[in-house]
Amino acid sequence: MGVAGFRAPQIKILYNGVDKTDLIPWIDISIDDYESDESDVLNVLMHWSAPLPREEDEIKIYIDGAFLGDFTIATIKYNYKQSYEIEAISANFFKAFREKKNRTFKQQSYEQILRSIAKENGYNIKIDFARMDEVGDIEQYDLSDCAFCKKIADDLEITFCVKNKTLIFIDKDHDHDRVEYTIIEDEIIDLNYQINHTKKYNACEIKWFDSEQNKSRVSKVGVGTPVLKFSDFARDEAEALSKAQAKLKRQQNSVLAGTVSIHGRPFFAGGYINIKLNDEPKTLRAIISKISHKISNNWLSTIEFF
């Protein structure tokens, strides 16, 4: 497998928009990039003689010419007179994005609500999911904008994350037009995966309470058996069916999971990974849930997928 390709990567560090690569004697760099709402994290271990950074300053990282992230310094850890380590996160949580609010969005679509939140907090936005045009009254009670975005994502069973000053809301299902990455067996350093041969559901039933008719109802998507059953809140039958469809798709897609390590590549969480193996007749295809980049005298990328 791919062991011979280790080499020293070329690093470029922009500090508050200025190239400070030659002034920052780093030892190790690691980046954890998540597909979920969890914030991406950059850690840089530096020699004690390096200029001391400041919390809330901005760092942009480029490796071999590829942009790997825009981060805000959150924590500085000290090993006295030996080294220190900075930890930076992809979202600036020092701003109003973490402040609790109480308000109601009346007769607005999910897209309108999320775009207004992004604008308030100075973020760009990428939004593309099936229910983005649904209109209704949505209450934000004692929740920060960050927590409110996560709640909407959980309710709709979509992906929400913050990357490079951009709020991202997209469908979780595998039909979404995501970035595609491909690796072949010769590029693999280590690979572990499992194929879950669990019960496959062909239909899904949701039990929900109809406030207009003041009674519980059951709505169903799909045909045949077995049937996946669950209970949840829904404003109307359209929302109930959408939740049932999302849950059924998620169950049907949760077949393949694992990790693969390769020589450093500028891959990002949320994209598809296609793994072509000599002894597997079919390409292994899944969504990258997390990718960890480790950089020292070489660059290693470890990909978690599902």
Mean pLDDT of all residues in 194-211: 85
pLDDT of residue 242: 82
Full set of structural domains in the chain with CATH:
11-90 (2.40.10), 95-171 (3.55.50.10), 180-197+255-305 (2.40.30.150), 203-251 (no CATH)
pLDDT of residue 173: 65
Short-list 54, 68, 42, 303, CA closest to 190 = 303
- More confident site: 4 or 221: 221
Q: Which of 5-14, 38-47, 98-107, 288-297 has the lowest mean pLDDT?
A: 5-14
pTM of this structure: 0.79
Q: How far apart are CA 171 and CA 160, in angstroms?
A: 9
Rounded CA-CA distance 306/287 in Å is 6
**Cβ partners under 8 Å of residue 258, min gap 6:** 191, 192, 193, 194, 286, 304, 305
pLDDT confidence of residue 92: 65
Amino acid at the residue 187: E
Mean pLDDT for all residues in the chain: 89
pLDDT of residue 257: 87
- Rounded mean pLDDT of 273-298? 92
**Residues 10-61: tens digit of each pLDDT:** 999 999 999 999 989 999 999 999 987 788 999 999 999 888 899 889 999 9
Distance, CA of 289 to CA of 208 (rounded, Å) = 31
- Is the pLDDT confidence value at 5 over 80? no
Confidence band (pLDDT; 50, 70, 90) for 261?
very high
Torsion of CA 292, 169, 306, 88, to 10 degrees: 20
Q: Which residue has the higher pLDDT, 7 or 182?
A: 182
Check residue 6 and give its pLDDT. Answer: 63
Find the range with the poorest average confidence among 108-117, 140-149, 162-171, 186-195. Answer: 162-171
Q: What is the pLDDT, as a whole number, of residue 4? A: 47
